[in-house]
Amino acid sequence: MTPSEEHLAFYHEIGMTVTQWASVEQALWWIVSCCFDKQSAATSAVGFYAIENFRSKIQFTGRVFRQTHTKTSDIKRWEAIALRAQSVATDRNKIVHQSVMVFTESSPGRQYALIPTYSRPTKRKSRNGKLLPPPGSLCVRDICKIRYRMFALHVTLHNFYDHLRGEPELFPVHLEAEKPPQTLSELRTQTRVLSMSLHAAPVEKS
């Protein structure tokens, strides 16, 4: 993977991850909507989306859910989802709060990184003196892994929503499991395809 390819892949993964998170929050709202009738659901949406902190959204959803659903298996399923969502939320916070730094001397796949807020990368060097990302940094494959975690969580929430409505669950259950991130080779191929499609796209005249 060349530095240019990594640059494109890095920011592409960040953008895809942020977008995927929006799907997670939407699916969480669907769970809330199952706790109200159609008329009240629209009103409760205002309150749900007024909550800025995601963990507070999880707590709100849990309290409403337990008020309206008493089946033990459903409650246990929700509790497992809630714990998982809180874990993924920690990764989401890293994506949006850590800053970008470029490490031109690092190996491919680790030249662009989201570094921890309080780290000092200038003091973290390898044995041969090269400047490397500090511990806790997120590079392109780390971000890809987080995106896959978010997708799996979205699938899990969506299937639970279908279950609560008494409908067949849309996604196969195996998609609820988190999968490993793409390899650098796969990311490189994806980036090249994306780059070619961008260059091939016609320029619209204003």
Residue among 189, 95, 185, 110 nearest 143 (CA): 95
- Is the pTM for the entire model greater than 0.75? yes
pLDDT of residue 200: 64
Q: Look at residue 126 in the predicted model and tell me its pLDDT.
A: 60
Instruction: Please write the tens of the pLDDT for every residue from 44-76.
Output: 888 899 999 999 999 999 999 999 999 999 999
What confidence score (pLDDT) does residue 201 get?
A: 56
Q: What pLDDT does residue 77 have?
A: 96
Q: Are 191 and 8 in contact (CB under 8 A)?
A: yes
| C-beta neighbour count of 171 within 10 angstroms | 14
The pLDDT, as a whole number, for residue 205 is 61
What span, in angstroms and rounded, lies between the C-alpha atoms of 19 and 156? 17
Q: What is the pLDDT of residue 13?
A: 96
| Stretches in the chain below the pLDDT threshold 50 | none
The pLDDT value recorded for residue 121 is 52
Residue 194: its pLDDT value, please? 81
Residue type, 98: Q
pLDDT of residue 173: 96
